[in-house]
């Protein structure tokens, strides 16, 4: 069974970048009839906060990205310890004693020589006596995973195609800090094995991590999952600005973005498929295809998100929004007002036009006489607006803007808005006649 996972660290709210990762893994699993798992990567106790764990769950629920199971890395420390001991017994992890300053100096020297800043494996040449002396001095080791230099690292990437890495051109990665805490890569591989993850879809900034992790899977006697690395998001100016990169689900909700709009944009962004306002998620699932993903950076535009959001609102049925509409606003009113909305919160403004009071402009005497006659000619039927305007046109000879605008202004206090043929029945006969008469005085 296809099994994907989303593995956020609870150090902040979900933002557009990791929402996109979560969505694509969800779509990949749903399309295959598989499982989408949530893993809270909270091994960094100093930065992880429980309120962000709750926020991640809340954000995924708002987006409708349901998961089929949840794990927390903080509850799996014993499993990481067991894997670490197995690797140590096999000679695949080793202690290193360089300080951060010493490592930075080595890095600068290599870069100054025009060489890649690859760790020189100096720790492997230490004798037992050297290591004992370091520890007697109170220097606790950090631990590195020893890459196998004897064969190329290769995989067929679901987006990037065949990948080849020479392990000798990679640094042996640190997997455990001197204080005993874990870095990302080893716990992630251990969890992917235990959770039965078959497919890992993530950003292209993880490509070199994947090369390292493939050797970790092999060292742990497990087959690696299928990997795919998608291009990262950038903004209109060429890179994803801090404002957009940190734009969290809570901020998106508060700004009036509908989850369907965000999913419609992020599902297709960076692919050859058109970005469309889609409220039926089954269409997003059916059309999801890694083969359509491009290598160029995916451009995120908040203005485009706004346009999609408006188009989504114009499709949403009443039942989907009823709980968030102003009190008393029913299906007929939603159908009338919906085409004029950019954000759902605008419904309150337009509903106040229906419920009143309204403030029409001051009209000249000729227009007041016209409106007084409109109050007299108003009759109620299936289409009172068409009946009223037809009668006034025939009697006064007015047409176009001269006919329609004063009536709209008197009835709504606005120069534009929803179709009056739909709006007038919502206002009601008594209120409409009263507004026309009041504007004529």
Rounded to an integer, what distance in angstroms lies between the CA atom of residue 156 and that of residue 164? 9
Contact 198, 2 (CB under 8 A): yes
User: Does the pLDDT at position 45 exceed 90?
Assistant: no
Q: Report the b/e string of 183-195 with b at 16+ CB within 10 A.
A: bbbbbbbbbbbeb
Q: What is the DSSP letter of 340?
A: G
User: Does the pLDDT at position 256 exceed 60?
Assistant: yes
Query: Does residue 74 have a cis bond before it (omega within 30 degrees)?
Result: no
Contact 7, 25 (CB under 8 A): no
Percent of the chain surpassing pLDDT 70: 98
Confidence class for position 240, pLDDT limits 50, 70, 90: low
Q: Kindly report, residue by residue over 334-357, the tens digit of the pLDDT.
A: 999 999 999 999 999 999 999 999
pLDDT (0 to 100) of residue 76: 97
Roughly how many angstroms between the first and final C-alpha of the chain, as a whole number?
74
Residue bearing tokens 């195609």: 161
User: What's the token pair of residue 22?
Assistant: 């979560």
Residue 125: CB partners within 8 Å, gap ≥ 6? none
User: What's the token pair of residue 64?
Assistant: 């409708």
Confidence class for position 248, pLDDT limits 50, 70, 90: confident
User: What's the token pair of residue 159?
Assistant: 């987006």
Residue 335: CB partners within 8 Å, gap ≥ 6? 318, 422
Q: State mean pLDDT over 281-304.
A: 94
Answer whether CATH 3.40.50.2300 is correct for domain 356-440: no
Contact 376, 396 (CB under 8 A): no
SS3 label, residue 154? strand
The residues spanned by each domain of the chain are: 88-176, 318-354, 356-440
Beta-strand runs (E) in 232-303: 233-234, 298-299
SS3 label, residue 97? coil
What mean pLDDT, rounded, does the chain reach?
95
Look at phi and psi of residue 433 and say left if phi exceeds 0, alpha if psi is from -120 to 50, else beta. Answer: alpha
User: Does the pLDDT at position 167 exceed 60?
Assistant: yes
Q: State mean pLDDT over 139-162.
A: 97
List Cα–Cα distances, 240 to 234, 250, 271, 297, 387, in angstroms: 4, 19, 18, 10, 54
Whether 283 has a binding-site annotation, put simply, is no
pLDDT (0 to 100) of residue 238: 61
pLDDT (0 to 100) of residue 244: 52
Q: Kindly report, residue by residue over 60-80, the tens digit of the pLDDT.
A: 999 999 999 999 999 999 999
pLDDT (0 to 100) of residue 243: 52
pLDDT (0 to 100) of residue 46: 87
**Domain topology for 88-176:** 3.90.800
Top-confidence residue, 237 or 429 = 429
Residue bearing tokens 């007015």: 398
Total-model pTM: 0.91
Rounded to an integer, what distance in angstroms lies between the CA atom of residue 46 and that of residue 360? 60
pLDDT (0 to 100) of residue 235: 78
Q: Do the bridges between strand 35-40 and strand 70-72 make them parallel or antiparallel, or are there none, so unpaired?
A: parallel
DSSP codes joined into one string, 300-321: P-HHHHHHHHHHHHTT--HHHH
Residue bearing tokens 């591989």: 189
Top-confidence residue, 426 or 301 = 426
Rounded to an integer, what distance in angstroms lies between the CA atom of residue 417 and that of residue 11? 44
User: Does the pLDDT at position 398 exceed 60?
Assistant: yes
SS3 label, residue 379? coil
pLDDT (0 to 100) of residue 247: 72
Rounded to an integer, what distance in angstroms lies between the CA atom of residue 436 and that of residue 411? 6
Q: Kindly report, residue by residue over 343-394, the tens digit of the pLDDT.
A: 999 999 999 999 999 999 999 999 999 999 999 999 999 999 999 999 999 9
């Amino acid at each position: 069974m296809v099994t994907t996972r989303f593995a956020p660290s609870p150090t902040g709210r979900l933002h557009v970048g990791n929402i996109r990762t979560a969505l694509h893994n969800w779509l990949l699993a749903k399309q295959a009839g598989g499982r989408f798992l949530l893993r809270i990567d909270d091994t960094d106790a100093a930065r992880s906060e429980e309120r962000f764990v709750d926020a991640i769950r809340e954000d995924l629920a708002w987006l409708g990205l349901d998961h089929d199971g949840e794990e927390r890395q903080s509850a799996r420390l014993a499993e990481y310890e067991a894997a670490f001991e197995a690797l140590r017994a096999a000679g695949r992890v080793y202690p290193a004693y360089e300080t951060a300053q010493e490592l930075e100096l080595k890095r600068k020297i290599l870069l100054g020589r025009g060489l890649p800043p690859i760790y020189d494996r100096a720790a492997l040449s230490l004798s037992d006596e050297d290591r004992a002396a370091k520890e007697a001095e109170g220097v606790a080791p950090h631990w590195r995973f020893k890459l196998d230099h004897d064969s190329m690292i290769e995989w067929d990437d679901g987006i990037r195609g065949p990948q080849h890495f020479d392990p000798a051109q990679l640094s042996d990665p640190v997997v455990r800090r001197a204080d005993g805490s874990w870095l990302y890569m080893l716990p992630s591989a251990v969890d992917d094995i235990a959770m039965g993850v078959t497919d890992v879809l993530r950003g292209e900034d993880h490509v070199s991590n994947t090369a390292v992790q493939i050797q970790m899977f092999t060292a742990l006697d497990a087959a690696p999952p299928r990997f795919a690395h998608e291009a990262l998001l950038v903004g209109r100016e060429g890179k994803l600005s801090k404002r957009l990169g940190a734009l969290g689900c809570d901020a998106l909700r508060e700004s009036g973005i509908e989850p369907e709009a965000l999913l419609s944009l992020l599902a297709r962004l960076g692919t050859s498929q058109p970005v469309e306002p889609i409220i039926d998620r089954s269409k997003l699932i059916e059309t999801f295809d890694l083969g359509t993903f491009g290598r160029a950076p995916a451009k995120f535009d908040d203005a485009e998100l706004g346009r999609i959001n408006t188009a989504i609102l114009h499709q949403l049925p009443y039942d989907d929004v009823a709980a968030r509409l102003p009190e008393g606003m029913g299906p007929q009113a939603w159908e009338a007002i919906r085409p004029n909305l950019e954000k759902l919160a605008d419904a309150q403004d337009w509903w106040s036009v229906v419920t009143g009071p309204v403030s029409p402009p001051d009209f000249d005497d000729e227009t007041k006489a016209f409106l007084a006659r409109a109050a007299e000619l108003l009759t109620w039927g299936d289409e009172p607006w068409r009946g009223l305007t037809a009668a006034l046109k025939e009697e006064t000879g007015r047409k176009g803007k001269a006919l329609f605008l004063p009536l709209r202004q008197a009835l709504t206090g606005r120069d534009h808005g929803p179709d009056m043929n739909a709006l007038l029945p919502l206002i009601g006969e008594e209120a409409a006649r009263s507004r026309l008469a009041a504007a004529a005085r």
